Amino acid sequence: MGISKWAQIQAAYELVKRSLVHELMHDSILGSPTQMRELIQAKIGHLPHEVFLCLHLDSKNRLIECQELFRGTVAQTAVYPREIVKEALMRNSSALIVAHNHPSGDPYPSKKDIELTHLLQQALQWVAVGLLDHCIVSQNSFFSFQEAGIMNVGPN
């Protein structure tokens, strides 16, 4: 494939990501779970290293911003709950959906992933920010803590 064709494909890929963000900024993210999954998959599903994202939501669960907070190695990334709380407050987020990728291809959560999710729920609860879901993606797979019943999320 030539450089020109590669650039066209990259441009089309970027347009799809921007379109998904635009849609989620105008409609409730909870009403568009497929678009949310596609956005997360497009942003980090293909990466060869772990990345941790925060999807900041307003009071109507519309996307404020999709923020990459932490970047790690092929097998792990350091995540700091204090920084997540700080970033949520700076954006006046009412709720968050967090996500990270597993470059190994296995989207199922580790024990540390589950512990982190519960720690984040507790930390965010102190500042009245809901944690609606923690998603893990790989290139071809998607895992939702909410759908798996691992999280206890009430109405926001």
**Domain that residue 39 falls in:** 3-148
Mean pLDDT of the chain: 85
| Residue 59 lies inside a defined structural domain of this protein | yes
Calculate the dihedral angle through the C-alpha atoms of 143, 146, 149, 153, rounding to the nearest 10 degrees. 160
Domain count, the chain: 1
Report whether pLDDT(155) > 50.
Answer: no
pLDDT digits (tens, 9 = 90+) for 43-76: 898 899 999 999 999 999 988 999 999 999 988 8
| Residue 126 lies inside a defined structural domain of this protein | yes
> What is the model's pLDDT at position 2?
73
What CATH number is attached to the domain comprising 56?
3.40.140.10
| Residue 47 lies inside a defined structural domain of this protein | yes
The tokens 């599903």 sit on which residue? 45
Lowest mean pLDDT among 70-74, 80-84, 118-122: 70-74
| Residue 119 lies inside a defined structural domain of this protein | yes
| Residue 48 lies inside a defined structural domain of this protein | yes
pLDDT digits (tens, 9 = 90+) for 104-115: 989 999 999 999
Mean pLDDT throughout 20-25?
56
> What is the model's pLDDT at position 9?
66
pLDDT band at 156 (very low <50, low <70, confident <90, very high): very low
Q: What DSSP line would sit under 4-46, residue for residue? A: HHHHHHHHHHHHHHHHHHHHHHHSBGGG-HHHHHHHHHHHHTT
pLDDT band at 153 (very low <50, low <70, confident <90, very high): low
Report whether pLDDT(22) > 80.
Answer: no
| Residue 136 lies inside a defined structural domain of this protein | yes
Q: Give the integer Cα–Cα distance in Å for 108 and 130.
A: 23
Highest mean pLDDT among 23-37, 97-111, 141-155: 97-111
Question: CA of 99: how far to CAs of 1, 4, 41, 103, 114, in Å?
Answer: 32, 33, 10, 13, 12
| Residue 156 lies inside a defined structural domain of this protein | no
Mean pLDDT throughout 84-105?
96
| Residue 83 lies inside a defined structural domain of this protein | yes
> What is the model's pLDDT at position 50?
95
